[in-house]
Every structure is written in structure tokens, then in C-alpha cells.
Structure 1
Amino acid sequence: MARPSIGMVAGEPSGDLLAASVVEALHARAPQFALTGIGGPKMQAHGFEAWYPMQKLAVNGYADVLMHLPELLQIRRAVRERWLAERPAAFVGVDAPDFNFSLEHALRAGGIPTVHFIGPSLWAWRGERINKIREAVSRILVVFPFEEQIYRDAGVPVTYVGHPLARTIAHTPDRAAARARLGAASGARVLALMPGSRAGEVRHLAPRFLAAAKLLQIRDPALELWAPMANAEREREFLAHASAVGGLKNLHTIVGGSHDILAACDAVLVASGTATLEAALFKRPMVISYVLPRLSWWIMRRQAYLPWVGLPNILCRDTLVPELLQDDATPRALADAAWKALTDEAGARRLEARFGALHDDLVRDTPALASQAILEVAGHG
């Protein structure tokens, strides 16, 4: 008799990070289940069996999706048919809503219970999605407290599980210890450069971030630059952009290592996304940026509901940190905003207090709550 299974799909490094502790908890609670599908190295470290490399799904913006659409459709068709044949006890889609919701809809229609972990930000844009979500999922797991009522009011079974990063990141990061681990100078200013984990993000943001860093090193020649990279391919691309900019000093890249760098730094230049929440949980001043192909930007601007794109601003309902998007994301503007983030000590203390309160709001035993909900949907709760 085949071993019972739970299918999962995580499509990018942030999803891999968020799902890893849940995979670990599922194996601890229900070791009889194989966990299979699409996931990254952090999930695999806890026994997840990956059928496809996670990078296949890591595209950003409508233009990149269109470019990779045939391969994405082929992968989704292949996993759908395999799961419809193998009949897992449940399927869990981890973020990646454009890929996962269609997959969840097909699997649920085929009699397989479905869970979506991390509700999409429909409260920021594309609110009409909630009708599709109601059809696609047996239960949705949300990571922000205000989301629970939104889904409950829409008739979608929902469980608030807290944000897994809030448990794994210390409330008071040890900057000195992190700098010692990295080998960063104890007295130097340190700027983290986080242009994203997708190839398109690095292509659009890295040249701007690096040009801004070059301007900053005119103001402070001792400024250290540290950039965590999602994988070796992103690192090669980033370093190629650094070479094209030229003249940068004290530039360090690490594959992985984002938490050490966030703990060690004084400020962050960061792509909009999960990394902005990580920076907030580390209580660091930041400048949020994002640049998309023109078509993608035009579509997203027409669908936006909120005045912010960065999670720290959205969750605190306030413009706590600057957002420089699309044409506003010039090297000079990024450098000026980053210099203020690096040098405004009173502002850093105010952010630390606001981000500390946010951290408290998001702490729950996420792996336990999420794994229990998944097993309930799978009929083993």
C-alpha cells in the first residue's frame, strides 16, 4: 500500500522559508505522511520531497509570467494530474497565488481537500479574488490578524496562525554578535542591499541599489555593503551588475545569510515583499523600492487599493518608511533616503518602538497552528 501523502507547492524563497517550520511540524505530528511537490532547500532539509526545482515558479510581473507561461502551465498540468491520480490526503498551496489557486480549484473539484497558507494581499489589490478563493480552498491560513475577519465575512473557512517569522526572529537582535559572525567592522556603518530573490527583481533593482550605494560611499567611504542572495545564480547576476556600476568598496555577498545581515546592519535598501517584514521584525530602518516592466506596473497601479506597497507601512497603517517605486527609484533618490535611514538616530528609535509592537502582534505558535489545521482538513486532526 502506498504511503499516504500531503501535497505542497511553494514557489519562491520566501515561501520556502515560511513553509519550512510547518513541514517540520507536520513530520513531527504525523510522520506517516510523505510531503511532496514543489519546494525549496529549507523545506527539503525537513524531509520534503521536491518534484521540481522551486526556481521554476519564481517569476515577477505580468511580462515575466508571459515569457515563462508555457513552462509554468506544463508544470502545473503535470503536478495536477499526478495528484489527481495519487490522491493525497490534502494539498497545501504556500503563497504563489497565481500558480496555486488554479491548481487548488482543480484538485478540490477532484475531491482533494485544499489549504492555502498565507492569504494573498487582496486587501491591497485584486479584491475580486475572494470569490475564486471561496471555490478553491477548503481552508485558508492567514498570517496577519486583521485578515481573519475579511475571510470569515466572505464565507471562507479561515484560521489565523500568526507569522512564522515573528517566532524565529529575536525581539531584540544582537547587532554586535551578528557583525562578529559576518566579520563586519564593529564601528562602520553597514547598509544591507536586498534587491529580491527573483531574476526580474535583481535585473530591475540591483543596478539602482548599487548605483545608490556608490553615491553613499562618497559620503561615507567606510560604508560596508552586505547583500544576501537567494542562490548562486542570483549572486552571479548581482555581482555582474556591481561590476558594471564599478568603483564599489567593501561589498560583500552571501548566499543565504539574510538574518545575520539584517541583524548586523544599520539600514536596508529592500525590494517590496516579505523581506520588508523581516527588516521590520529586526527593527531596522529601511527604504522600500520596486520596479516592474511598464505593462506590469500599469496594470498593478490600476488595481491598487492602498496608498502603500510595503508590508511595514500597510500593517502599521502609516508611512513609517519611504517607498520609492518605478520612476521614483532613481539612484540619487534611493541614496538620499538611505542616508537618512543610516544617520537619523531619533528616527531609528521611533521605528524600533513601532516595529516592536508589530512584532508582538504577529507572534503565535505558527507551526503548531498551521500543521493542526492542515491535518484537520486532511481528516487526521
Structure 2
Amino acid sequence: MVAGEASGDLLAGLLLEGLKSRWPGLQAGGIGGPQMARHGFQAWWPHDKLAVRGYVEVLRHYREIVAIREQLKARLLQQRPDVFIGVDAPDFNLDLEAALKAQGIKTVHFVCPSIWAWRAERVEKIRRSVDHVLCIFPFEPALLAQHGIAATYVGHPLANVIPMHPDKAAARKQLGLHEQDEVVAILPGSRASEIQYLAQRFFEAAALVKLARPAIKFVVPAMPALKLRIEQAARAAGVLADLQIVEGQSHAVLAACDATLIASGTATLEAALFKRPMVIAYNMNWLSWQIMRRKKLQPWVGLPNILCNGSVVPELLQDDARPKALADAVLQWLDAKTSAPEKIAAVEQRFTALHAELQRDTSRLASDAIQKILEG
């Protein structure tokens, strides 16, 4: 298995749990993180080696990433596993899967590359590289079938982990917050490059929100490896003393908050499953942005908006992700609690329906599909 970042590690860990239930003697190794290690996964390289997003950013790490892939490919061709499962990370995994499939090793890709959002041309590489795709969104298998790619909708594992009705009071107690507190969660990303481009903007926005609402509480979940960088960005923005930075606990933070300022990515779907109003933002290297925007097929980049097929929550991208604009968007959600509660209720209703649509017995459906591939 290969999972290339924190979100992939989380999904792969949930998948491994189901696979181990069906095959207790299963042995798994490759590239992964702590969630996979909890289920006995042997990480030959840590997952954060692949946690790079953006064309220019990837170029800086290109030699190291390609060297890892070549070493991994050689090891897998020698050991010949029963099946290789690439978890997301399509830029790394699809080329590896193509080489393994050409040598007769069964290949499964978990999380369909978002060809419905951007880079539609990638569908040819998927067909060449994988025996089966495990899809986390319901419309994807039919789309892949049009191109002759076998796929199974298995639901989104997070929809089974996150409760349909989150316990805000319990989460606040866990974090030492009071029920009457007004709480904003700040999630500037899980990659070093995201912290570089987003964290200070987010914290400068927090400073402006604090001016408007002095009693506000800010909570920031941080991966241990990125905590120092987050603290440095908060200090530069002058708000370090106003933040509660916690290691991990992103689900508790999302359950506890009234609204969240959040980097585009898997975390936005987690926020939607917690039924929280959010402001989605992203900023990256200018050249990477110019390349990516030309390949975009949807009017949105945030998963909640894409999956709900509408502008349910605001998105502020690249030059629009200015601290004042971010702060104003957050304040609009906070004001709506009293001035327009129906707006909050409408968002919660949309996200509850989305949650129900994504809730499936993912472990069983995925292991059923993998068993058929092995038998086939």
C-alpha cells in the first residue's frame, strides 16, 4: 500500500481495519503513516515524504520522490504481493501501478482521481494502470465505466467514523472550552507548503475577527511535525497568545466549533460531515496556480460545494484569500447565528443529506471488491 499524506493515511488505516477483519493474517507494507501503523502496517518510508502539492513544489522534491518510487517498484516486483493498493496520491501511484500491472501484479486504486473536477485526460492513465478503482463518491463508477474502467462505490470511510449528530458539548469539554464560548476552528492545512502559503493569512484574519468579537476563541489542530511552523506564523501575525493550538484532535476541534476557516482539501469534507459552516480558502505558488486553474472543470474547488453541486459555503482562492476578506466571511457566519439562523440550518440540512449519501459499509464493500480481484 502507498498513502501519500495525512488524509490518505487516515483512509488507508480505516481500509486496513476492514481488510484485517476479513484476512487476520494479512501483512501490509509500503508507504504510510501512524493510522496505518496502528493496524500493523510496515512503513518502509513515511507518508509525509509524498505530502507535496503543486507543480513547482513537486519539482523541488522530484528527484527524491522518483528515487523512492523506483526503489519501491523494485522491491514490490521482487516480493510480488497479492495485491497493490494505491491510496489517493495519483501522481505517485498511477505510474507505479502501471509498472506493477504490466508485470502481472493486481492493482487497486482507492479514491478515484478527481477527473470530474480537473485533469480529465488522466482517465487514460487510470485505465492503463489499475485493475479496479474503489470510489468514495456515488457518481464515480458510472463515469469510469464510460471509459471501460472497473470500479465499485464503497462510500466514504469518514462518513462512518464521524457521527451523524456530533456532540458539540462533549467536544468542548474535551478541549477545555465552555458551552457559551463562540469558537472558530482554524485549519491551515496538513502540508508544509500549505502552512507556508496559508497559515499567516489565516492568523491575520483571526486578528481581525478578534477585533470585532473580543471574546472569540480560536482553536488550531496541528500535526506534531508542523506545530512549530504554525506557532511561528501565529507569532508573526501577532495572535499566538489568542490561539489554542492542540496536537491532532482535528475531529474534536471541528465538533466543538461554531464555524471554521479551512484549507481546501479532505478536511473540508470532514467539516461538512460535522455539519459546520466554513470558509474555504487556498493559496499556492503563483505558477502552480496558473497551471491548475486552466485544468479546472468545476466552478468550485471545495469538496462540499462540488458534492452539493452549489455554492453552499464561500471559497476564497489565491489573490482573493486576503486576511480582510477571510475575516469578513467568517464574521458573516458568526453573525448569522443570531441574524439569520435559517442560513445555518440550511447548511446543516445540506450536509446531513450529503452525510447519509456517503455512509456505506466501506470496509465490507472494499474487501468484497478486493476478494473478487484476487479470485479473478
Instruction: Please report the TM-score for the alignment, with normalisation by the length of structure 2.
Output: 0.97
Among candidates 171, 185, 190, match of residue 164 of structure 2: 171
The residue aligned with 1:283 is 275
Q: Does 1:367 align with 2:367?
A: no
Among candidates 45, 55, 59, match of residue 38 of structure 2: 45
- What pairs with 1:191-340 in structure 2 (closer than 5 Å)? 191-229=184-222, 231-340=223-332
The residue aligned with 1:155 is 148
Please state how far the C-alpha of 1:247 moved relative to its aligned partner.
4.0
Please state how far the C-alpha of 1:187 moved relative to its aligned partner.
1.1
SS state at 1:304 partner: coil
Q: Does 1:93 align with 2:86?
A: yes
Please state how far the C-alpha of 1:249 moved relative to its aligned partner.
4.2
Number of matched residues?
372
2:33, 2:47 within 8 Å by CA — same for their partners in 1? yes
Amino acid at match of 1:160: Y
1:252 and 1:371 mapped to 2: Cα distance? 40
1:183 and 1:329 mapped to 2: Cα distance? 31
2:345 and 2:292 mapped to 1: Cα distance? 34
SS state at 2:170 partner: helix
1:128 and 1:32 mapped to 2: Cα distance? 39
Please state how far the C-alpha of 1:202 moved relative to its aligned partner.
0.7
Identity, % of aligned positions: 53
Please state how far the C-alpha of 1:60 moved relative to its aligned partner.
1.2
2:351 and 2:189 mapped to 1: Cα distance? 22
Please state how far the C-alpha of 1:248 moved relative to its aligned partner.
4.7
Among candidates 337, 348, 365, match of residue 352 of structure 1: 348
2:242 and 2:235 mapped to 1: Cα distance? 13
Among candidates 44, 60, 63, match of residue 56 of structure 2: 63
Instruction: Please report the TM-score for the alignment, with normalisation by the length of structure 1.
Output: 0.96
2:182, 2:258 within 8 Å by CA — same for their partners in 1? yes
Unaligned segments of structure 2, at least 5 residues: none
Q: Does 1:34 align with 2:24?
A: no
SS state at 1:128 partner: helix
Deviation per residue, 1:149-200 (Å, 9 max, x gap): 1011111000000000111111111111100011012211100001110000
CA RMSD of aligned residues (A): 1.0
Deviation per residue, 1:263-294 (Å, 9 max, x gap): 00000101111000000000000000011101
2:305 and 2:239 mapped to 1: Cα distance? 34
Please state how far the C-alpha of 1:63 moved relative to its aligned partner.
1.0
Please state how far the C-alpha of 1:260 moved relative to its aligned partner.
0.3
Amino acid at match of 1:41: P
SS state at 1:284 partner: coil
The residue aligned with 2:5 is 12
Among candidates 117, 123, 131, match of residue 130 of structure 1: 123
Please state how far the C-alpha of 1:374 moved relative to its aligned partner.
2.0
Please state how far the C-alpha of 1:130 moved relative to its aligned partner.
0.6
